[in-house]
Chain A
């Protein structure tokens, strides 16, 4: 240690990245937390009812740093006034702000509630990464589309504007090192060029038939679950696939095709005859979507409270639709685990294209999405 009483220096700190590195780790943990909360997040009313562009605040538990602390809201705390403060003076409402002094690390006064702001895009990105249309097959070769170019290859010759500087330099360094010369020279042989390939994405030629039970027995929760599901389904299809047709069918004792807006907002009443919707679906398929050139995905939401005499017919129709489709999804919203007539009929079905799922609580919507839109059918809840 030198005995100089002081030194003043200015170093280059540009390589000191510790704060940033740990900040990265923190971000990673936030992402993890979002992922773990997806099931609750996607059934959050704030999102479904929103215009789709808002930021959602979610409390992320794993990121709060818990300590044994005093309960400050129950405690009297000291402050300083401008002079002549009297008992009863109001000094503020809501949360008292923290002091301007930040220099004492570890002097943690004030409670540190961490809320992460998540945009809809963040959630979608994570949610949709897990989803895909199952059994998708190329149906016709005419509509092959080139959507993008992707630089994924490096070659020795190419356009000068696409030169890969880093690789070229690396080659040059290697070259001169091999030759034992201490002078580096870039030879023509060292040049490396980035080369692209066309990304070919076949037209999915997919059509989704969204069937929803709008009968009187569909209560608030049932409708909510169904709409949440379809909300995400539609967003998922529009984000990930081009040219996916979505047709909306609402039914009670009879079915009719409705607009998207009507489908999501209007309520109906009456009894339930599911086969009516299947009939309409079959008609739509036959008219507009020949099975030879379309991937067809009917998705049906109901509370399972079907007219018992209609069940026989339903099974027949579902079998028929299955023959034309890539998958038939049936989701039953059943919060009280009652035995439903429709599900007990469907549970006997063995068709591998038929997928069913029971939604008991809000967060099951997420599981239903995963169950229907994954390559292999997952074990869903069965009644």
Chain B
């Protein structure tokens, strides 16, 4: 299960809406092994595409160096689908490389009712998990 603060969910949805119709992407970092997504880090989609996303390689290095120095890990890796449902595509599955992360998918296909779902992607296997949205700090 993913437990995540309402403020962070709102920030992810706002980022997805802002970049629509291109895919938006980013990370929510948290203390290593805590499973607590705490620090919202929107990333630039270097592909600037409605059907593809990729973190810029320089930004990616900077992000991982920063997380390393703070003893953090990417607890959530999020991106949006802008014309399809919030479910991992074959491309998403083949490039998923953080077996400990929650892969959050947001769909802005319906402008009003934005879909927000979370998955584990390990060795090509997708498992959807419940999302618990809490107000205030994540315990």
Q: Do A and B come from one complex?
A: no
- Spell out A's residues near B (CB within 8 Å): none
